[in-house]
C-alpha cells in the first residue's frame, strides 16, 4: 500500500529516455525497441492506477507527500482524481503508437547539406515528454506542477526544430528555417505564458502561505482563506493565460499550425493529443479549484473566446491546402469545445469536456497518423497532390475516413458522446452560446468530407498509382485506435464512471449546481414538478 505508484509511473519513461539516449549510434534498432518497451511498461502502470483508483472514494487517491524545499513551503505532493486518471491513461496509451508510427522518422538522413538525424535522441525526447506530462497530471503542489509544465517545453522544442517533416516542398535550407521558426514560436509563446504564471504562483504563495492545492481548496471551502476580489482575479488571469496558450485558445493559438505543420506526424500527435491537454486539464484543476469566484467572473469572456475558437478554427480549416495544417486548425476548433464545456459550469459540460480531451486525443491520433503514412508515400502535404487514393490503397483510405468521421463527431464514434455532452451542458445554462457553437459541427463535416473527397476519391493521379497500402506495422498502429473510437462511442460508461465524481467535486468548488429544467415534467407521485 506504500508503493509510490504515481512516482514510478512518471519515472519509468524518464529512465527509459536516459537509457535510450545512451544506446550506441550503431544500435538504432535496439534504441527503438527499448523506447517501445519502456512506453509499454508505462502503459501497464497507468492501467494499474486505473484499477486501484476507486471512483466515488477520496477526491485525491494514491497520494504521496514529502518535504522538498522546506524553506519555501514546496512539497513533492502527488495525487490523482478521476480526471487525472483518464488523462494519464490517454498519455500512456498514445505514446507506444507515437513511437511505432515514427519508427523510421528519425533514421539517418543524408542530404545535400550532409545532415544526420540522431535516432536515439528522437525516441528519448518522446519518452521524456511523456514523463513530464504524466507528473503534471499527478502534481497537487502548484510549484511542482509549474516546474514540469514549463520543463516539457525543452524536449518539445528539440522534437519540432530538430526532427521536422521530410515532406517539405522547399529546399533543405528553407525546410530547416521553417522548422526553426515553428520551434522558436512554440517556445516563446509558451515561455511568455509560463513567466506570467510564475508571477501568479508567487502571488498565490504570498496570499495562501503554501503551494498545496489540497490545503488551499480545503481552506477556501472552510472559509479560513479569504482572498480579496481583485487579488483572486489577477491570480486567476495569470494562471489562465498560461493554460490558454498551451490549450491553445484564440487568439493565443497561432503557434500550433506552425508547430504541427513542420513536425513529423507522430510529434504532431504528441503536441495536440498529449501536451496541449495539460492546458485544459489545468483549467479544471487549478483555475476552478483555486479561484472559483474569479472563474465565474471571467466566464462570459472565456465563453466568447471559446466560441471564436470553435468557429474560426473550423472556417480556416475549410480553406487549408495543407493536410497537417487542416488538422491543426480543426484541433483549435475542438479545443474551443473543451473550454466551452469547462466554463459552462454544468456537470454535463465538464464531464463532456473531460471525455472530449480523451476522445479528441484518440481521433486526432488516428487521423494524423494515417495522414502521416499518406504523406510519407507521396512526399507532399498538399491536398491538391492527391486524388483517387482509395482505388490503389483501400485500407489506408478506409482508416483515413474513420479518423475523419471521428473528427466530425459522427454518432457511434467516441467524440460524438463528448461533443453532445458539452452542447447539452452549455444549452442548459447558456442557450445562445450553445446555438452558436453548433456552427462548428456543420463546418467540421465540411472540412472533413471535402478533405476526403479531394484526396481519396476521383480519378487516380499519376503520382499515386503505385502507392502501397498500409503495411502491417502501420495497421497495428491504427487498428487499436479505431477500435477504441468505436468502443467508447458505443459504451462511454467505462470513462464516465471514473470522471463524474471528480466533476461533482469541481462543481462543488465553484459552488455551482446544474440548472433546473424549464419544461414541466411529471413527478413520480403524479404531481407536476419542474
pLDDT (tens digit, 9 = 90+) per residue, 114-123?
444 588 888 9
- CA 497-503-505 angle, to 5 degrees, is 115
3-state secondary structure 196-218: HHHHHHHHHHHHHCCCEHHHHHH
* Average pLDDT over the chain, rounded to an integer: 88
Q: How confident is the model at residue 70 (pLDDT cuts 50, 70, 90)?
A: confident
Looking at residue 383, what DSSP letter applies?
A: G
d(CA 35, CA 218) in angstroms, rounded, equals 41
Q: What is the pLDDT of residues 468-515, one digit of tens each?
A: 888 999 999 999 999 999 999 999 999 999 999 999 988 888 887 878
Residue with cell string 477500435: 483
Least confident of 108-112, 332-336, 352-356, 506-510: 108-112
The DSSP result for 212-247, as a single string, is BHHHHHHHHHHTS----HHHHHHHHHHHHHHHHHHT
Query: What's the pLDDT score for residue 402?
Result: 93
The CA-atom distances, in angstroms, between 124 and each of 24, 198, 282, 426 are 13, 28, 26, 41
The DSSP result for 49-70, as a single string, is HHHH--TTS-SSEEEEEEEEEG
Q: Are 308 and 250 in contact (CB under 8 A)?
A: yes
Q: Are 76 and 64 in contact (CB under 8 A)?
A: yes
Establish whether the linkage from the previous residue to 425 is cis, with ω within 30° of 0.
Answer: no
Least confident of 165-179, 183-197, 281-295, 374-388: 165-179
Structurally, the chain folds into a number of domains equal to 1
Looking at residue 524, what DSSP letter applies?
A: T
Q: How confident is the model at residue 380 (pLDDT cuts 50, 70, 90)?
A: confident
Q: Which residues pair with 141 in a beta bridge?
A: 212
530 found inside a domain:
no
Q: How confident is the model at residue 368 (pLDDT cuts 50, 70, 90)?
A: very high
What is the pairing mode between strands 521-522 and 528-529? antiparallel
163 found inside a domain:
yes
78 found inside a domain:
yes
Mean pLDDT of 387-401: 90
Q: Is the pLDDT of residue 529 over 60?
A: no
245 found inside a domain:
yes
Give SS3 for 307.
helix
Mean pLDDT of 297-310: 94
Query: What's the pLDDT score for residue 522?
Result: 58
d(CA 18, CA 14) in angstroms, rounded, equals 7
Residue with cell string 488523462: 87
Give SS3 for 149.
helix
Q: How confident is the model at residue 109 (pLDDT cuts 50, 70, 90)?
A: low
Q: How confident is the model at residue 113 (pLDDT cuts 50, 70, 90)?
A: very low
393 found inside a domain:
yes
- 152's CB contacts (< 8 A; 6+ apart) are 129, 132, 133, 136, 275, 278
- 45's CB contacts (< 8 A; 6+ apart) are 5, 8, 9, 12, 92
Q: Is the pLDDT of residue 111 over 60?
A: no
Q: What is the pLDDT of residues 503-519, one digit of tens each?
A: 998 888 888 787 877 66
524 found inside a domain:
no
Q: Are 45 and 5 in contact (CB under 8 A)?
A: yes
Looking at residue 171, what DSSP letter applies?
A: -
516 found inside a domain:
no
Domain boundaries, position 56: 5-107+114-510
Q: How confident is the model at residue 19 (pLDDT cuts 50, 70, 90)?
A: very high
Q: What is the pLDDT of residues 225-248, one digit of tens each?
A: 788 889 989 999 999 999 999 988
Sequence length of the chain is 530
Q: Are 265 and 324 in contact (CB under 8 A)?
A: yes
252 found inside a domain:
yes
- CA 154-195-86 angle, to 5 degrees, is 60
3-state secondary structure 417-484: HHHHHHHHHHHHHCHHHHHHHCHHHHHHHHHHHHHHHHHHCCCCCHHHCCCCCCCHHHHHHHHHHHHH
Amino acid at each position: 500500500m506504500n508503493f509510490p505508484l504515481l512516482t514510478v509511473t512518471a519515472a519509468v519513461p524518464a529512465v527509459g529516455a536516459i537509457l535510450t539516449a545512451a544506446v550506441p549510434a550503431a544500435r538504432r534498432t535496439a534504441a527503438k525497441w527499448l523506447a517501445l518497451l519502456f512506453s509499454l511498461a508505462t502503459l501497464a502502470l497507468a492501467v494499474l492506477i486505473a484499477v486501484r483508483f476507486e471512483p466515488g472514494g477520496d477526491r485525491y487517491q494514491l497520494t504521496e507527500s514529502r518535504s522538498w524545499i522546506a524553506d519555501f513551503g514546496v512539497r513533492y505532493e502527488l495525487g490523482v482524481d478521476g480526471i487525472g486518471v483518464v488523462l494519464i491513461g490517454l498519455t500512456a496509451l498514445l505514446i507506444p503508437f507515437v513511437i511505432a508510427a515514427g519508427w523510421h522518422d528519425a533514421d539517418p538522413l543524408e542530404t545535400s547539406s550532409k545532415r544526420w538525424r540522431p535516432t536515439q535522441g528522437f525516441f528519448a525526447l518522446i519518452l521524456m515528454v511523456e514523463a513530464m506530462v504524466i507528473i503534471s497530471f499527478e502534481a497537487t503542489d502548484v510549484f511542482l506542477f509549474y516546474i514540469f509544465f514549463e520543463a516539457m517545453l525543452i524536449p518539445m522544442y528539440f522534437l519540432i526544430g530538430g526532427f521536422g517533416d521530410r515532406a517539405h516542398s522547399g529546399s533543405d535550407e528553407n525546410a530547416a528555417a521553417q522548422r526553426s521558426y515553428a520551434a522558436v514560436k512554440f517556445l516563446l509563446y509558451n515561455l511568455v505564458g509560463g513567466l506570467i504564471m510564475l508571477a501568479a504562483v508567487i502571488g498565490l504563495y504570498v496570499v495562501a502561505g503554501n503551494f498545496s492545492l489540497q490545503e488551499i481548496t480545503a481552506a477556501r471551502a472552510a472559509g479560513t482563506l479569504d482572498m480579496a476580489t481583485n487579488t483572486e482575479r489577477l491570480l486567476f488571469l495569470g494562471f489562465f493565460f498560461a493554460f490558454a496558450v498551451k490549450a491553445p485558445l484564440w487568439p493565443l493559438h497561432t503557434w500550433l499550425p506552425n508547430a504541427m505543420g513542420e513536425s513529423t506526424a507522430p510529434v504532431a500527435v504528441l503536441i495536440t493529443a498529449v501536451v496541449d491537454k495539460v492546458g485544459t486539464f489545468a483549467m479544471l484543476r487549478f483555475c476552478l479549484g483555486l479561484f472559483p469566484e474569479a472563474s465565474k467572473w471571467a466566464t462570459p469572456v472565456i465563453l466568447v473566446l471559446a466560441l471564436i475558437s470553435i468557429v474560426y478554427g473550423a472556417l480556416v480549416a475549410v480553406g487549408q491546402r495543407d493536410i497537417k495544417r487542416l488538422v491543426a486548425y480543426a484541433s483549435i476548433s475542438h479545443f474551443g469545445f473543451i473550454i466551452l464545456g469547462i466554463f459552462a459550469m454544468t456537470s454535463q459540460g465538464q464531464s463532456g469536456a473531460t471525455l472530449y480531451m480523451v476522445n479528441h486525443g484518440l481521433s486526432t491520433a488516428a487521423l494524423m497518423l494515417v495522414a502521416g503514412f499518406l504523406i510519407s508515400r507521396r512526399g507532399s502535404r498538399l491536398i491538391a497532390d492527391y486524388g483517387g487514393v482509395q482505388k490503389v490503397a483501400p485500407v489506408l483510405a478506409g482508416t483515413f475516413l474513420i479518423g475523419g468521421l471521428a473528427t466530425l463527431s459522427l454518432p457511434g464514434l467516441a467524440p460524438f458522446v463528448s461533443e453532445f455532452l458539452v452542447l447539452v451542458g452549455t444549452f442548459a445554462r447558456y442557450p445562445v452560446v450553445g446555438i452558436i457553437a453548433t456552427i462548428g459541427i456543420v463546418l467540421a463535416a465540411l472540412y472533413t468530407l471535402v478533405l476526403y473527397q479531394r484526396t481519396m476519391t476521383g480519378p487516380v493521379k499519376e503520382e499515386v498509382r503505385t502507392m502501397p497500402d498500409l503495411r502491417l506495422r502501420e495497421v497495428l498502429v491504427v487498428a487499436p485506435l479505431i477500435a477504441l473510437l468505436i468502443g467508447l462511442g458505443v459504451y462511454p460508461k467505462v470513462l464516465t464512471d471514473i470522471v463524474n465524481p471528480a466533476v461533482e467535486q469541481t462543481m462543488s468548488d465553484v459552488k455551482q449546481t446544474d440548472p433546473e429544467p424549464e419544461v414541466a415534467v411529471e413527478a413520480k407521485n403524479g404531481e407536476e414538478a419542474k
